[in-house]
């Protein structure tokens, strides 16, 4: 698993294809929203969480698609599948690599987002929400990217498959983030956090169980 993560990190350091595309896309999204939505300060506070998660999900989808398509186009995917290791190591290696890339993008986007929107996003509870949301998103996205990479229309197919399935965790992440940013009581935020934790546990387990069959097909 760690060998796959190291391979992805080393390949990205040489090419800078994946992170560059994700960062440019994320920055474009927040800039467009910032200049297109001329909102009052109060309204800005209410839409910040939604804009933040739209940025993360769109950039994350681009990263998931590219991470698997690069393996397929270079012929590396067949080599990984032929390796004499459990297929779950391949899944968790790719998922961990995608999660690291997503965290790097989020770490760069958060301070820029805070400056443009005038909102302090460096709240420990908000960072926990981002961690839980990113984990569930990548767990499902890595599995579906492995399915979509075999299709000719993979760039279109992945968002069609992914967005309906990740809708629960994205909605929960937006609600929890909004509650934290507006200073709601933890009693109102905990139900959304519980949904995110349950989603992460269930879909990581499901992906672990079905990944072998997905890549075989």
**Burial code of 49-76, b = ≥16 C-beta within 10 A, e = fewer?**
bbbbbbbbbbbbbbbbbbbbbbbeeeee
pLDDT value at residue 182: 85
Place of tokens 């999900």: 57
How many Cα atoms sit within 13 Å of 18 on the Cβ side?
Answer: 26
Which tokens belong to 99?
């999660």
Gyration radius of the chain's alpha carbons: 18
Which tokens belong to 207?
């992906």
pLDDT value at residue 39: 61
pLDDT tens per residue across span 53-63: 999 998 888 88
Phi and psi angles of residue 183, each rounded to the nearest 5 degrees, phi first: 75, 30
Whether 70 and 18 have beta carbons less than 8 Å apart is answered as yes
Q: Which three-class secondary structure state does DSSP give residue 38?
A: coil
Taking the model in full, what pTM does it have? 0.87
How far is it, in rounded angstroms, from Cα 141 to Cα 143?
A: 5
Q: Which of 17-26, 54-63, 95-104, 105-114 has the lowest mean pLDDT?
A: 17-26
Place of tokens 């579906």: 144
How far is it, in rounded angstroms, from Cα 136 to Cα 76?
A: 26
Percent of the chain with pLDDT strictly greater than 70: 94
Domain ranges of the chain: 2-216
The mean pLDDT of 126-147, rounded to a whole number, is 91
Stretch (H or E) spanning 82: helix 76-82
Q: Which of 29-38, 45-54, 122-131, 133-142 has the lowest mean pLDDT?
A: 29-38
pLDDT value at residue 217: 60
Q: Over 90: is that where the pLDDT of 151 sits?
A: no
Whether 129 and 52 have beta carbons less than 8 Å apart is answered as no
How far is it, in rounded angstroms, from Cα 129 to Cα 214?
A: 29
């Amino acid at each position: 698993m760690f060998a796959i993560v190291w391979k992805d990190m080393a390949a990205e350091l040489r090419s800078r294809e994946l992170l560059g595309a994700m960062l440019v896309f994320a920055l474009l999204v927040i800039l467009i929203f910032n200049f297109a939505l001329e909102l009052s300060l109060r309204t800005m506070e209410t839409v910040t969480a939604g804009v933040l998660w739209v940025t993360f999900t769109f950039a994350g989808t681009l990263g998931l698609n590219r991470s698997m398509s690069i393996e397929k186009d270079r012929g590396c995917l067949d080599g990984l599948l032929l390796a004499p290791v459990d297929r779950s190591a391949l899944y968790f290696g790719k998922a961990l690599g995608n999660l690291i890339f997503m965290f790097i993008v989020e770490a760069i986007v958060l301070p820029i987002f805070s400056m443009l929107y005038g909102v302090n996003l460096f709240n420990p509870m908000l960072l926990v929400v981002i961690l839980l949301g990113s984990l569930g998103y990548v767990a499902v996205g890595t599995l579906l990217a492995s399915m979509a990479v075999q299709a000719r229309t993979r760039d279109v197919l992945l968002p069609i498959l992914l967005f309906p399935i990740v809708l629960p965790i994205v909605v929960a992440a937006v609600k929890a983030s909004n509650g934290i940013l507006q200073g709601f009581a933890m009693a109102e935020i905990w139900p959304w956090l519980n949904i995110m934790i349950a989603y992460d546990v269930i879909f990581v387990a499901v992906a672990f169980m079905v990944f072998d069959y997905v890549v075989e097909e």
